[in-house]
Amino acid sequence: MYRRGVLVSENDSPLIKSIAVVGGTGKEGSALAKRWALNGYRVIIGSRSADKAEKSAAETNEELNGEYLTGMANEDAVQNAEIIVLSVPYSAHKSTLETIKPYITGKILVDVTVPIQPPNFTTVHVPEGKAASLESQAFLGEDVKVAAAFQNVSFVKLSDPQGDVNCDVLICGDDLGVKQEVMTLVEAAGMRGIDAGPLANAVAVEALTPVILYINKQHKIKSAGIRITGLDD
Amino acid sequence: MYRRGVLVSENDSPLIKSIAVVGGTGKEGSALAKRWALNGYRVIIGSRSADKAEKSAAETNEELNGEYLTGMANEDAVQNAEIIVLSVPYSAHKSTLETIKPYITGKILVDVTVPIQPPNFTTVHVPEGKAASLESQAFLGEDVKVAAAFQNVSFVKLSDPQGDVNCDVLICGDDLGVKQEVMTLVEAAGMRGIDAGPLANAVAVEALTPVILYINKQHKIKSAGIRITGLDD
């Protein structure tokens, strides 16, 4: 059977993966969650506070006029999903990883975190582990497969689920199968995904975000992005 | 008076700046040199060997059917130009800076170097100083103004002086006036330059090159590039 255009199994659980968006009450996370939910994914909004997560999910469900999302504390969200998307400020990155580590073994982590040091939003900051996603992989160990994606996408463009984002999503990771899963997520959110190489290359992708924020500031816009050119040459 | 479409002063020295391309016998450097020379700049090809530089300049002059370029040893090239463009393999970066340091005080250095570690051309390598251009600035001191640019441009597209490069040039630097000079150089080479922030942001721009080389390899192409989107929103 089909539900919202997506093939689902007879017991009504989608054949496509379930997603927990840890930090899903934030601007980037909630915009992604909305797009995936509208495309038939079972999406759980995660937050440090279950109340806050439930409230955020309820607000989005009201906006979308349907029961698309649920909200849970981060630990429960991770336990109840196959793919974990991490979208938190860098200052909460380490502590959030500590919270979810017991529940994430064997799962995929898509790290959206950008290692910005406020108030310098427009200057590249290279963290100790070179990239937030490399720090995630090092901390969580080999039983968790980490990919990096979505760092360069403006939440302003993302938050309108029908809007054209006009930004490619560079996907980094050391596991080809995981990158293919992420590619599916990128396309489900309405964007073009591009395999950008091993997780080590997330240094470039994460560092590009402060550059984009600098360009936004200089041009008094809110949604600069990037496109890879030459693919059709 | 005008020469090749460019306003020059009465004693025939152009009002526009003179450029030394250190490492100008390489693919990227020689392609840039050719474009600037064709646009009226006085361009000196620099190489460790004066003979090699003279030979390279002569070959390009023959190709272009005119006396566009001269060739000199790197030290002499730097002494005889106002803007120094550094385009060398990262393995020669430090030693080349040592060679030119005595002659570059008060001048502008446009660093094109990408800190790649062969044979891993498609994996980001973060150097000790975080970016080659940051290492240049630290080594040369405050009397030299360093900018970073042109790292993401494919020499394949660049080497045809009439060809459309289809890649934006992200310009990083701590001096706004210097960035404006570099913007002029970018436009003279037929591309769109974008102010990408302070020199610290060169981390992103330099790291993007192995990502582009990875994409080239995956897609079996030679000239992927990047565009910043959303500037006209």
**C-beta atoms of B197 and A224 within 8 A:** no
Render each residue's pLDDT in chain A as its tens digit; 233 residues.
344 444 444 444 446 789 999 999 999 999 999 999 999 999 999 999 999 999 999 999 999 999 999 999 999 999 999 999 999 999 999 999 999 999 999 999 999 999 999 999 999 999 999 999 999 999 999 999 999 999 999 999 999 988 999 999 999 999 999 999 999 999 999 999 999 999 999 999 999 999 999 999 999 999 999 999 999 87
**CA–CA min distance A17, chain B (Å):** 27
* Better-scored residue on pLDDT, B7 or B23: B23
In a domain, A226, yes or no: no
A156 interfacial to chain B (CB closer than 8 Å): no
The whole-number pLDDT of residue B10 equals 42
The whole-number pLDDT of residue A116 equals 96
Which CATH number covers residue A94?
A: 3.40.50.720
ipTM: 0.93
**C-beta atoms of A201 and B223 within 8 A:** no
The whole-number pLDDT of residue B16 equals 73
In a domain, B185, yes or no: yes
Cβ contact B167:B154 at 8 Å: yes
What average pLDDT does chain B have?
A: 93
User: Which residue matches tokens 């030459």?
Assistant: A230
* Sequence letter at residue A46: G
Phi-psi region of B120 (alpha: psi -120 to 50; beta: other; left: phi over 0): beta
In a domain, A153, yes or no: yes
In a domain, A225, yes or no: no
The whole-number pLDDT of residue A10 equals 43
* Sequence letter at residue A36: W
pLDDT (average), residues B133-160: 96
Chain B residues touching residue A233 (CB < 8 angstroms): 221-223
Chain B residues touching residue A166 (CB < 8 angstroms): 229-230
Using a 10 angstrom Cβ sphere, with 0-12 exposed, 13-18 middle and 19 or more buried, the burial of residue B202 is: buried
Of A145, A225, A217, give the one whose Cα is nearest residue A190. A225
- What is d(CA A199, CA A177) in angstroms, rounded to the nearest whole number? 13
In a domain, A224, yes or no: no
**C-beta atoms of B124 and A200 within 8 A:** yes
In a domain, B68, yes or no: yes
In a domain, A209, yes or no: yes
Residue A127 domain boundaries: 2-219
Count how many domains chain B has: 1
B121 interfacial to chain A (CB closer than 8 Å): no
Q: Please name the residues in contact with A212: beta carbons below 8 A apart, sequence gap of 6 or more.
A: A152, A154, A224, A225, A226, B228
**CA–CA min distance A202, chain B (Å):** 8
**C-beta atoms of A122 and B227 within 8 A:** no
**C-beta atoms of A231 and B218 within 8 A:** no
* Sequence letter at residue A106: G
Chain A residues touching residue B227 (CB < 8 angstroms): 226-227, 229
